[in-house]
Amino acid sequence: MTNEHASGVRPGQHAFRAVLWDIDGTLLLSEAMHFRALRHALATEGVEVPEVFHHEIIGRAAKVVYEKCRQTFGLSMSFDQWRRLKYSYYTAHATEIAVRPGALEAWRLFEQSGLRQALVSNSDRIVVNANIRVLGLETPGFISVSINDVVRGKPDPEPYERAATLLGLKPQQCIAIEDSPTGAQAALEAGTHIIAWPEDRTLEFPSQIQPITDLEPTVKELLQHAA
């Protein structure tokens, strides 16, 4: 793996044909809602979840988070019970979630440049669909990958590999935009170019990846170089 995959496109090259977006924390400021929903589910067993626990689970798939909850808090409910409680809360409150500032502006820049775009999420399909509705991206033929569409979720590369395949492309022809080290690791191992755009600046990314603070200028620079 070379640094060009971690930092974007080399100047003067038509290096990518599609953009693969993470959703939670990247397009939507939904991580806080996920944590609220988690706390709601665990409160039914009298568990109070400390704020610091959020750092341990950000970007992780539901099954991984559930197992972490069992180990940490001695959770007794089944995975299906936990998931129903968490997702019913999340979907009921999804309209309260804000779009991340700068995200859809960047989406439109890519769209105007003729690049295809898809979503790659570690969330279950019910959450992905709720998020797509919040974003207003429901269109015929729109491609999204949820944790239900793969055998292994992020940080495994399979979600990004599947998204590229559905677009008829190789991962090396795609850019991934991620806010978490978990997602960035998946994109890195898949071989995509990566834009790491964390909301939480304290997160530690793989050493090959240099996080950015402003998305739109980065996108404009990439598009200018690839023109």
CATH code where residue 91 lies: 1.10.150
Residues 106 and 210 in one domain: yes
Residues 54 and 123 in one domain: no
Q: In sequence order, what are the residues at sequence separation of 6 or more whose Cβ sits closer than 8 angstroms to the Cβ of residue 25?
A: 31, 58, 59, 100, 179, 180, 198, 199, 200
Look at residue 204 in the predicted model and tell me its pLDDT: 92
Question: Structure pTM?
Answer: 0.87
Residues 109 and 165 in one domain: yes
Beta strands 116-120 and 144-145 are parallel
How many domains are contained in the chain?
A: 2
Residues 130 and 54 in one domain: no
Could you tell me the strand order of the sheet in which 116-120 lies? 144-145, 116-120, 18-21, 174-178, 193-196
Residues 74 and 105 in one domain: no
Look at residue 81 in the predicted model and tell me its pLDDT: 97
Each of the 227 residues of the chain gets a pLDDT tens digit; together they read 333 444 444 333 447 899 999 999 999 999 999 999 999 999 999 999 999 998 889 888 889 999 999 999 999 999 999 999 999 999 999 999 999 999 999 999 999 999 999 999 999 999 999 999 999 998 888 999 999 999 999 999 999 999 999 999 999 999 999 999 999 999 999 999 999 999 988 899 999 999 999 999 999 998 987 66
Query: Phi first, then psi: what are they for 195, rounded to 5°?
Result: -115, 115
By CB neighbour count within 10 A (0-12 exposed, 13-18 middle, 19+ buried), where does 80 fall? exposed
Look at residue 59 in the predicted model and tell me its pLDDT: 82
CATH of the domain at 106: 3.40.50.1000
Look at residue 120 in the predicted model and tell me its pLDDT: 98
Residues 44 and 19 in one domain: no
Q: How far apart (Å, rounded) are the C-alpha atoms in residues 188 and 176?
A: 9
Residues 171 and 127 in one domain: yes
Residues 145 and 189 in one domain: yes
Q: Give the domain range for residue 58.
A: 31-96
Look at residue 227 in the predicted model and tell me its pLDDT: 61
Look at residue 131 in the predicted model and tell me its pLDDT: 97
> Which residue, of 71, 96, 121, is where some domain finishes?
96
> Which residue, of 96, 111, 144, is where some domain finishes?
96
Residues 175 and 222 in one domain: yes
Look at residue 55 in the predicted model and tell me its pLDDT: 85
Residues 118 and 178 in one domain: yes
Residues 115 and 174 in one domain: yes
Residues 132 and 209 in one domain: yes
> Which residue, of 57, 81, 96, is where some domain finishes?
96
Most distant CA atoms of the chain, gap in Å: 58
